[in-house]
Amino acid sequence: MPRPRQATPGGGPVDASAAVGTPGRIAVRKTYKLYIGGAFPRSESGRSYVVKGADGSPLANAVRGSRKDVRDAVRAARAAFAGWEARTAVNRGQILYRVAELLEGRREQFEAEVGAAEGLAPAEARAQVDRAVDRWVWYAGWADKISQVLGTVNPVAGSYFDFTIPEATGVVGVVAPETSSLLGLVSRLAPVLVGGNVAVVLASEGRPLPAVTLSEVLATSDVPGGVVNIITGLRRELVPHLAAHMDVNAIDAWGVPPDLIVSVEEAAMDNVKRVARPPRGAAERFDWLDDRAAQRPEWIAAFLEMKTVWHPIGV
Amino acid sequence: MRLESSSRHAVAPKVYDAAMGSTLDPVARERAQTEAHELVRAWNGRSIGLGGLLGRLGSVDQVGVEERAASLAKRSIKRASKLWALDLIVRMIDLTTLEGKDTPGKVHALCQKARRPDPADPSVPSVAAMCVYPALVAVARAALAGSGVRVASVATGFPSGQTFLELKLAETELAIEAGADEVDMVIDRGAFLCGDYVTVFDEIVAVKAACRTTLLKVILETGELGTYDNVRRASLLAMAAGADFIKTSTGKVSPAATLPVTLVMLEAIRDFERRTGRAVGMKPAGGIRTSREAIAYLVVLYETLGPGWMTPDRFRFGASSLLNDVLMQIRKERDGRYSGGDYFSLD
Amino acid sequence: MTSKRDQMVTQRPRSESVGRGTASPSSWGFGDGQAVPWEYAPAPESRDVVKLQARYGLFVGGKEVAPRSGQWFTTIDPATEEPLAEVAKAGLADVEDAVAVARRAFRRSWGGMPGRERAKYLFRIARILQERSREFAVLETLDTGKPIKESRDVDIPLVAAHFWYYAGWADKLDYAFPGRTAQPLGVAAQIIPWNFPLLMLAWKIAPALAAGNTVVLKPASPTPLSALLFADVCRQADLPPGVVNIITGPGEIGLALVKHPDVDKVAFTGSTAVGKEIGRAIAGQGKALTLELGGKAANIVFDDAPLDQAIEGIVNGIFFNQGEVCCAGSRLLVQESIAEPLIEKLKDRLATLRVGDPLDKNTDVGAINNAAQLAKIEALIEAGVAEGAELYQPACELPARGYFVRPTLFTNVAQSHRIAQEEIFGPVLAVLTFRTPDEAVEKANNTPYGLSAGIWTEKGSRILKMAKELRAGVVWGNTFNRFDPTSPFGGYKESGFGREGGLHGLLAYVRLEDR
């Protein structure tokens, strides 16, 4: 059960993830950093911003990521892509399952952070974390099956063997949902990874802390460095750079503020990025707890390319 | 350069040597062998085993080659060209009878047809050759005396080739003695299909030596070879061994000649000519019954090897019933009416 | 124009015994020095099968209507530069009408119609197209300049096949996507290019209608006629009015159409530049979008390839439809160990290509589609020469009128040359070499495009490996330019997104909802 927040004597932020502390003992507060290329750098800009809880009280400083951090993250992601995609599907699935194992293992910390960020009662926070773990497991199991559901052998009119198989798109920029700090993020990130893509995630601006803790989980699972990169910061500063980056192959735009969506889609056209967006108006009131709505193989397919191969059949 | 010996030769060198030694003019044999070795060396430039050599000589995609042949068959030629083509086809025909029940009477009658295909139209030329079994060569020669129509004899245990080398060589020599201008031999498909390319090669060399100046056509029996890859390999092997013509079939096995097989062989001829400077002729045989089909073969020939091959010196049709269809077409082009089977002799 | 074309021709010394030399057919010698009277008949397909109207209005609401704009433009035959017909030039008001009509038809008739009934309309259309195949083939050749051999044997059969294939899906959508039901999107705005006018129409309209959408389609302005004749097929099939609407006009009209707020879905096939423009124009509007854009495909030949068939594949890859194909094999990557013999064979084979009257059944390479494209091709050929690549063009007579280009080959091409990077969209092949499979993959993928690729090798494991590594939506192994309605087609990267054909082609036109 997480302690209610208290103001510190100095008025600075309090670490919301502190477990029940020992009276008289000063907690060692966590520093929330970026996660790029498997490491935890600070922003090259050296800036941070204050993250507040749902009740307005300061929780921690988060890194205010810059466009250079985005640039570095994309570079790290691209470098990691070939290796991640080349792994066998079952291997990717097992790596992703391990992430779920570690998520489960740190559930109390997540419950505390999600509860503080979103102003949830403990039971609600627990429901969110439960669902996040289960959802991650659900997507992990798709890794070695999705190509059987999406792939086809096509009965062409000629002596040719013709098949279509899905392949990863490449580097996906994920603009995480703003309000659902863990479950929403997991729901959008897991399907990206299942298909063999690598991700550059822009965490929720107002509720970034669970995302950073997630990055710690990723770093200690078997996910290779660079496969997921998580950047915290201000949406309006970061989204345009991600959308315009020529080495990003797709954008998951679920978390893009409505007034930025036009410019994001315009910028995406510079290198014909694939853009995944929610049905009109759905993002704000999306019920992430609804499995039917948020567990969809189409969300994996959105970041897959269909490759068709032909070969003559002859002696 | 010594070619590797096959295991069959290792087992029976005496038979081979005896065959090579006793029945051939040694000078001719040596010249033929030298020429063959030169050709193989020119082809490859290095000393490697025949199997390896043939493996490197390229493969053929079945679907691709069949599509190409089909698209060539859709060409339509000018009417004036068509008339010329029909005339050329007659001049390219090796009129053939190869049956157990052939008699001197049958051969004599067919030879008259060969000389004068259409008695009602003296402008129709004679065919290129008459093709018969060795026993009937003398009859054919007598019947064709003074006509310019050549006598071609099958030999080497036609059609199966499953007999002893001495007999194959003896048959060749006797056929030539009887008056054959051309010899159509069969390759040893059994040896080929078990990978014993050296045997196949050496046999052709030996027969070529026995032929001396007589023209040698080498029948690959493509219907038994099974793949276009094998057709290409067999073509190159036969040319390297000294063939003057390569021929698709005996006519006794189905499928016999087809457009794609012909295309593969013509492409091999083109590649061989480019490498060695020697032009080898080609003869599709069996299964070509209509003028339209024959013209399609000429299209394939023209598009692959060009105008220089549009001559009986380089291309023949092995056929029997084709001739009447061509005569019918010629008459139709001249009279403007379709004719019927009764108007052309069945010999 | 004639002298610039003729300047480019290369005179090659040839051996006497093989091939056909550089002179014209009538002076080719043979054996005894006589000329061989072997000539292909002009074999022209008759134009009579097509009854051209003097003028074509728009097709909106099941009827031919005059454009509210009051304007018309002329479409010509690029092989002769003669006018074929006048065609309506739609204005903004016409776009409004068409979209409104399509919406009404969606709401009132088509959108709610059971799949099995929609299917029967599409089957009717497929059958009528088969019946009128010769008419469509000739019309398509007249309007585009493509050889009748291709429109008759490739384009039109594929058109009918697409309608046949998607007709059968109309009542089986519940089986297409596991656990989901497929609902139509509504009104689809479809913009198609001039290289395969009727085929691109089929790729767009067939799946859209099968899924229950209604459409407003704009054919390319150089080639509107087959779409307008298709309108007649819709009438013959008794298709409910407003389900298919065809508006003709320039690019701006297409842009206005896609921007229209009552359009739910946009599908575009054309150049990458225009595709990006369209994507930007509808940014933020929440419309479904698929794009099928340009390419610069690599055709990769290894030294163990079946050489003569590879030559056919290379030739087909770049000269089919005069190279005006998004998935054309415009870069030949040949393994260095086989480069010389392959290029020799290729030059020989180029010399056999017949360039000329598209209506002649013997013609292999027809006219370039329009004057603007011809200018672009010629400019890029000049650029290739200027940047130091070696040019080869077989000597062949080109017709005095019409937009024609000789088949062109550039050797000694570097990866950085414009002719190796820019899409030429013409009968121009750039030849580069490579040493190892890795190098081939690297060079092939080193482009913003990713539509197609070809691999030629005898080794099965290598085919599969290369297919896996090549970043292209369509990979042809030991073949090229094969298309089929069951086989999904589309690009990676800047060649677009979304697939046309097959099960995947349905996705573009549906909204997936829970059962």
Contact B75 C17 (CB under 8 A): no
C4-13, C137-146, C320-329, C488-497: least confident range:
C4-13
pLDDT at B337: 79
Q: What is the mean pLDDT of residues B32-44?
A: 70
A309 at C interface, C-beta within 8 A: yes
Dihedral of the CA atoms B120, B123, B128, B130 (nearest 10)? Answer: 20
8 Å CB contact of A157 and C499: no
Which residues, in sequence order, are CB contacts of C78 under 8 Å at separation 6+? C144, C145, C222, C367, C368, C369, C370, C371, C402, C403
Alpha-carbon Rg for chain B in angstroms: 20
Q: How many angstroms separate the CA atoms of B341 and B324, rounded? A: 8
Active-site positions of C?
292, 326
pLDDT at position B12 over 50: no
Chain centroid, CA A106 distance in Å: 18
Of C16, C28, C308, the CB nearest to B267: C308
* Residue A193 near residue A135 (C-beta atoms within 8 A): no
Confirm or reject contact between B63 and chain A (CB < 8 A).
yes
pLDDT along chain A (315 residues), means of 10: 43 46 86 96 93 94 97 98 96 97 97 96 97 97 95 97 98 97 98 97 97 97 97 97 97 95 97 92 84 92 98 94
Interface contact A160, partner C, CB < 8 A: yes
pLDDT score recorded for residue A137? 96
In Å, how far is C489's CA from the nearest CA of chain B? 21
Q: Give pLDDT, residue C35.
A: 64
User: In this model, does residue C37 exceed pLDDT 90?
Assistant: no
Task: Inspect the interface and report whether the beta carbons of A312 and B227 lie closer than 8 Å.
Answer: no
A315:B64 CB<8 A: no
Rounded Cα distance between A261 and C10, Å, is 55
* pLDDT of residue B85 exceeding 50: yes
Closest Cα in chain A to B226: A315
Chain B: residue whose CA lies nearest to A311: B63
Per CB-CB distance under 8 Å, the chain C contacts of B74 are 149, 361
Q: With CB atoms and an 8 Å threshold, state whether B226 touches A313.
A: no
Q: Name the strand (E) or helix (H) holding C85.
A: strand C82-89
User: What is residue C120's predicted lDDT score, i.e. its pLDDT?
Assistant: 96
CA–CA dist C355, C396 (Å, integer):
7
Band of pLDDT at residue B43, cut at 50, 70 and 90: low
Distance from CA of A157 to the nearest CA of B (A): 13
Range C356-366 average pLDDT:
95
- Hey, are the CB atoms on C306 and B308 less than 8 Å from each other? no
Predicted pLDDT of residue A229? 98
Provide the CA B21 distance to its chain's centre, in angstroms. 27
- The per-residue pLDDT of chain C, averaged, comes to 92
Chains that touch B (3 or more CB pairs under 8 A): A, C
CA distance C30 to chain B (A): 4
Domain A67-312, classified CATH 3.40.605.10, yes or no: yes
Residue of C nearest to A260 (CA): C284
Q: What is the pLDDT of residues C393-417, one digit of tens each?
A: 999 889 999 999 999 999 999 999 9
Q: What's the average model confidence in pLDDT over B93-108?
A: 96
- For residue A313, the chain B residues in CB contact (below 8 A) are 63
- Residues of chain B positioned with their CB less than 8 A from the CB of A315: 62, 226-228
- Record: contact A315-B228, CB cut-off 8 A: yes
Residue C163, classed as helix, strand or coil, is helix
Q: What is the mean pLDDT of residues B58-70?
A: 94
Domain limits, chain A = 67-312
Q: Does any CB of chain C come closer than 8 Å to the CB of residue B276? A: no
Instruction: Write the pLDDT tens digit of every residue in C304-328.
Output: 999 999 999 999 999 999 999 999 9
Q: What is the pLDDT of residues B237-281, one digit of tens each?
A: 999 999 999 999 999 999 999 999 999 999 999 999 988 889 999
Q: Residue C38: exposed, middle, or buried by beta-carbon count in 10 A (0-12, 13-18, 19+)?
A: buried
Q: How far A26 CA lies from chain C's nearest CA (Å)?
A: 50
pLDDT score of B21: 52
Mean pLDDT on C132-150 = 97
ipTM: 0.88
Within 8 A of A157 by CB-CB distance, chain C residues are 161, 484, 486
pTM assigned to the model: 0.88
* pLDDT at C45 (0 to 100): 77
Residues of B labelled as active-site residues? 184, 247, 283
Contact A242, A200 (CB under 8 A): yes
The chain C residue lying nearest A274, using CA atoms, is: C497
Q: Are A124 and A115 in contact (CB under 8 A)?
A: yes
Q: Which two tokens stand for residue C88?
A: 């309506």
For A270, nearest residue in chain C (alpha carbons) = C276
Residues of chain C with Cβ-Cβ distance to A263 below 8 Å are 283
pLDDT at residue number B275: 83
Counting one residue from A and one from B, how many pairs have CB atoms under 8 Å apart?
Answer: 16
Which one of C493, C500, C511, C513 would you mutate to disrupt binding with A, by most A Cβ within 10 Å of its Cβ?
C493
A302's tokens: 């959105």
| C28 vs A108: which has the higher pLDDT | A108
Percent of chain B with pLDDT over 90: 72
pLDDT-based confidence at residue B55 (cuts at 50, 70, 90): low
Contacts of A274 in chain C (CB under 8 A): 497
- For each of the domains in chain B, give its residue range(s) and CATH number, in order of start: 7-343 (3.20.20.70)
CB contact under 8 A, A313 and B63: yes
Query: Measured between CB atoms, does A277 come within 8 Å of chain C?
Result: yes
Closest-CA residue to C275 (of C286, C256, C289, C261): C289
* % of chain C surpassing 90 pLDDT: 89
Domains present along chain C, CATH in parentheses: 2-10+295-477 (3.40.309.10), 57-293+492-514 (3.40.605.10)
Question: How far apart are the C-alpha atoms of B260 and C288, rounded to whole Å?
Answer: 48
A161 interaction partners in chain B (CB closer than 8 Å):
none
- A121 vs C: CB within 8 A: no
Closest CA to A180 of A160, A203, A196: A203
CA distance to partner chain A, nearest, from residue C50 (Å):
29
Taking an 8 Å cut-off on Cβ atoms, the answer to whether B308 and C362 are in contact is no
Residues of chain C found within 8 Å of residue A269, distances taken between Cβ atoms: 276, 279-280, 283
User: How many residues comprise chain B?
Assistant: 347
Is B76's Cβ below 8 Å from some Cβ in C?
A: yes
Contact C39 B78 (CB under 8 A): yes
The confidence score (pLDDT) of residue B4 equals 37
Tell me if C309 and B310 make a contact (CB, 8 A cut-off): no
Q: Which residues of B touch C361 (CB under 8 A)?
A: 74, 76
- Of the listed ranges B266-270, B280-284, B336-340, C270-274, the least confidently predicted one is B336-340
Which of A155, A160, A307 has its CB closest to that of C482?
A160
| Cβ contact A269–C286 (<8 Å) | no
Helix boundaries (H) for A64-180? 67-86, 89-105, 107-118, 122-140, 146-150
pLDDT tens for each residue of C82-112: 999 999 999 999 999 999 999 999 999 999 9
Q: From CA B195, how far away is CA B197, in angstroms rounded? A: 6
Which residues in chain A touch residue C467, judged by CB atoms under 8 angstroms apart?
307, 309
Give the tens place of pLDDT for each residue, B177-220: 999 999 999 999 999 998 888 899 999 999 999 998 999 999 99
Between chains, do B227 and A315 touch, taking CB under 8 Å as contact?
Answer: yes
